Structure 1
Amino acid sequence: MPVSLETAATMGLLRNPLRRAVKLLRLLRHPAFRRGLRFGVAASLENFVAMRDLTLGSVIDAGANVGQFSLLMRGLHPTIEIHAFEPFPEAVAVFKRLFAADPAVKLYPVALGAAEGRASLHISRRSDNSSLLPISNNQAAFAPGTEEIGTVAVAVQRLDALLADAALLRPCLLKIDTQGGELEVLKGAEHLLPRIDYIYVELSFTEFYAGQPTADQILTHLHAQAYRLVGIGGIARDRRGAIQQADLLFQRSAP
């Protein structure tokens, strides 16, 4: 996804030794985050503030990539169970190595959508920007180095089918960062939503992927499903300072 200055600093994308040093020091202070560095995975500290005060029993990580968000949540909430979903084979391999010794983390090597089937995953030069939608010129211009470099066929399944029989510990958080596929993930989770207390989702105000739903479409869908906005995590701005993306936290209203 396009990244804010803070996010870019945490991922080492800015050639600023001071920023990289600050990020590294923060990671080294925590045993779980420090272990992640051994596998080349930096916990997504840009989500730290939005996630640290939640009380959770389980997390569903849709668009897990190599485990950046799952690693953050494992460090913040050591007792939670994690169900992670990632279709890109190379990212799956890293995730499996990272969490090989953690029985409370389960990885599903599939993409999530509104219907079961197969689809082409459009691979970005930076794998965490890969998508089931074609990567547009807007994305490549906004975040250089994220252009499409190929495709791979992947399985697509509905989240509510995969986790229909799972004993999700409450409260449960669903995080969705699927590069334009967020609304499709939500549509494929509709029967599971009564068991999901929080949704943390990336919304875009520019079409970075061809056919990507707009932010207002996702907001309308979540409102109809009885979720209300309760927090803001990371934001991504363009060079003029305009916000292009935001990670928003929603909580399900009581029946």
Structure 2
Amino acid sequence: MITAFRDLLAPSRLTDVVDVGANPIDGEPPYAPMLSAGLCRVTGFEPQPDALAELQTRKGPGERYLPYAVGDGGEHTLNICRASGMTSLFEPDPDTLNLFEVLEPYGEVLERIPLSTHRLDDISEIEHLDFLKIDIQGGELAVFQNGRTKLADAVAIQTEVSFVTLYRDQPTMGDVDVEMRSQGFVPHCFAAVKKWPIAPYVVNNNPRWALNQLLEADIVYVRDFSRPDSLSDEQLKHLALIAHHCYSSYDLALRCVMLLERRGSLKTGAQQSYLETRPA
């Protein structure tokens, strides 16, 4: 039973997920298994009207979506690109896009509109934040830097990072990694890695068939479990649930259970109970 692990952990509340850039173009989000099982509630942010309308149409009882653009709290210009997934507060860089032939037309800016952004720390609708999923085409670092208070209780973050930047002045993976580590997070896994062929080379007449060039990735950071004293019992419980249900990281989940059992927060034998209920 999918709720067996939650029953074992008995957290005091549902896991609270915040999704910044909730545009559903990339399929199911990583927290979908928890959402469908009623183990979490989601607050999503999406400033693009068409994407927001689709989210509102599809949402279930555990979801709410707001039209805010999350960032540094300042006034910016939203660059509406031919491909909605490339719409960004950053200006596409034609020199970089030219390296990846198929991407170049997607980065064409069709419209520029003024946009007010909200600091994550200033959004009153977020009462708790356990798991942040974010993909806003280069704007992630500004969200982290202006959300340190809200993120202080978070245990997991899935963010898009760029190895080769497609926008002018876009932060790199290195910039994001430094910020994440400064806030007490460590890399856990790659949820997805995107490679792209360098123009003009084409494999089997398929301009999307990549060889080795890294472009972007969705990377998962978790609260540094090598320093367990910095995590409360409730944080360990939510981290265990996210690790188990969202990423099949049963080793991390078991580590959390072990720490909770050692603290006396779970009954003796909790580790064995978890091992007996997890998927083979």
| CA offset digits 1:20-44 (Å, max 9, x no partner) | xxxxxxxxxxxxxxxxxxxxxxxxx
Amino acid at match of 2:157: I
In structure 2, the residue matched to 1:28 is none
In structure 1, the residue matched to 2:44 is 84
Please state whether the residue corresponding to 1:212 is helix, strand or coil.
coil
In structure 1, the residue matched to 2:163 is 205
| CA offset digits 1:89-116 (Å, max 9, x no partner) | 22212211121xx2321112011112x2
Contact persistence 2:131–2:155 (CA under 8 A): yes
Rounded to whole Å, the distance in 2 between the matches of 1:57 and 1:157 is: 23
Rounded to whole Å, the distance in 1 between the matches of 2:46 and 2:30 is: 16
Amino acid at match of 2:212: G
Please state whether the residue corresponding to 1:191 is helix, strand or coil.
helix
In structure 1, the residue matched to 2:84 is 127
TM-score normalized by structure 1? 0.70
Q: Which of these residues, 158, 162, 167, is aligned with residue 123 of structure 2?
A: 162
Contact persistence 2:82–2:110 (CA under 8 A): yes
Q: CA-atom RMSD, angstroms?
A: 2.2
In structure 1, the residue matched to 2:55 is 95
Deviation at 1:126, TM superposition (A): 1.2
| CA offset digits 1:203-244 (Å, max 9, x no partner) | 111121111011111101111111011111111112142112
Query: What 5-or-longer segments of structure 2 have no aligned partner?
Result: 1-10, 198-210, 231-280
Higher Rg: 2
Rounded to whole Å, the distance in 1 between the matches of 2:119 and 2:136 is: 14
Rounded to whole Å, the distance in 2 between the matches of 1:155 and 1:174 is: 21
Rounded to whole Å, the distance in 2 between the matches of 1:149 and 1:75 is: 36
Rounded to whole Å, the distance in 2 between the matches of 1:191 and 1:117 is: 18
In structure 2, the residue matched to 1:60 is 18
Amino acid at match of 1:134: E
TM-score normalized by structure 2? 0.64
Amino acid at match of 1:166: I
Please state whether the residue corresponding to 1:251 is helix, strand or coil.
strand
Distance 1:72 1:211, change over 3 A: same
In structure 2, the residue matched to 1:149 is 110
Deviation at 1:196, TM superposition (A): 0.8
Deviation at 1:141, TM superposition (A): 5.0
Deviation at 1:140, TM superposition (A): 6.3
Deviation at 1:73, TM superposition (A): 2.7
Rounded to whole Å, the distance in 2 between the matches of 1:244 and 1:120 is: 24
Contact persistence 2:164–2:214 (CA under 8 A): no
Deviation at 1:249, TM superposition (A): 0.6
Query: What pairs up with 1:229-248 in 2 under 5 angstroms?
Result: 229-239=187-197, 240-248=211-219
Please state whether the residue corresponding to 2:152 is helix, strand or coil.
helix
Distance 1:194 1:96, change over 3 A: same
Rounded to whole Å, the distance in 2 between the matches of 1:94 and 1:69 is: 13
Q: Which of these residues, 145, 148, 151, is aligned with residue 193 of structure 1?
A: 151
Deviation at 1:168, TM superposition (A): 2.2
Distance 1:223 1:71, change over 3 A: closer
Deviation at 1:154, TM superposition (A): 2.3
Residues matched between the structures, number: 195
Contact persistence 1:67–1:95 (CA under 8 A): no
1:109 corresponds to 2:67: yes
